[in-house]
Amino acid sequence: MIEMPEATTIASQMNTTLTGKTITRFSRGPLTHKFLWLNRPDEEYHSMLSGRTITGAESFGRSIYLRMEDLMLWWGDTGGRINYHEPGATLPKKYHLLWEFDDGSSLTFAMEMWGFVKLLDRSQFEKRPQDESGIQPLSPEFSVQALDRMMDAYPEKKAKGVKGFLVATGYVMQDHLNGLGNAYVQDILFRAEIDPRRKVLDINAAERRNLFDFIQSTIATATGLGGRDDEADLFNQPGRYIRLMDSRTAGKPCPSCRTPIQKIAYLGGACYLCPTCQS
């Protein structure tokens, strides 16, 4: 899934590469996917987008926005690849959505897990979509005090562990961290020496400060490296951030204490942790 470092990278590349191009056609690709959601009929995507010129792109948390003067394409909760293709390039065999531009270049989206690509008009957004909420990990609004406020307000702080809090969305609480998913949370919690199952209510002040520092440093490092090495950018190039805790390191020695890294099932997904370092 695309998280904040990948969204930031792709949006920056879109802004540089797509700004000034005019969309000539929208169409479906050769593949279908029941967990790819559009908010309008295909015909409206084509009729509303045709002739529109891209004015820029940006990101917020895990979302990517491609802007036109009075329209916006919004990629959210995205598990897939957004790729740009130069004029005359052969399109990939497998993709779900296609946008073609006036210079012969194109953009494809290939869904791998789930997500949506919404087409919004001006009444549905100002700076960002009306139903997009939260605070970005590297924003000026994010502070130790903000983290304290969010952790104290987390509605399941007595029942769920800190992993659940870190990946909470606006459906859980409006005031949340927007940008983190399961992938980066593994490394953040390892560096902060916190077990993902620890109840939010039990995380003390010193641990919260530590958690804040490692959220910022991990996301800043990953963003500077163009995201994770198992995700791709706009030009289908992998990022350079290599995770410490993932399926590839399960069973291997912890980089700190050499205890084998453990895989557990928690909150509907896999977690990777060091049973010695994380408590």
What one-letter code names the amino acid at 119? L
**pTM of the shown model:** 0.95
pLDDT bracket for residue 1 (50, 70, 90): confident
89's tokens: 């390039």
CATH for 4-124?
3.20.190.10
Domain extent listing, the chain: 4-124, 144-273
Apex 85 CA angle, 81 and 90, nearest 5? 105
CB 196 within 8 A of CB 161: yes
- Paired with 53 in beta bridges are 22
What value does the mean pLDDT take over residues 116-141? 92
Query: Pick from 91, 78, 73: which is nearest to 23 by CA?
Result: 73
Spatial distance between the Cα atoms of 79 and 111, rounded to a whole number of angstroms: 6
Specify whether domain 144-273 bears CATH 1.10.8.50.
yes
CA atoms 14, 61, 128, 26: torsion sign? positive
pLDDT in tens, 19-73: 999 999 999 999 888 889 999 999 999 999 999 999 999 999 999 999 999 999 9
Query: Pick from 153, 8, 138: which is nearest to 75 by CA?
Result: 8
Q: What do you get for the CA distance between the two ends of the chain, in Å? A: 27
Identical fold for domains 4-124 and 144-273, yes or no, is no
pLDDT in tens, 145-185: 999 999 999 999 988 899 999 998 877 888 899 999 999 99
Residue 91: which residues within 8 A CB-CB, separation 6 or more?
Answer: 85, 98, 106, 108
- Strands 36-37, 115-121: parallel, antiparallel or unpaired by DSSP? parallel
Give the three-class secondary structure for 52.
coil
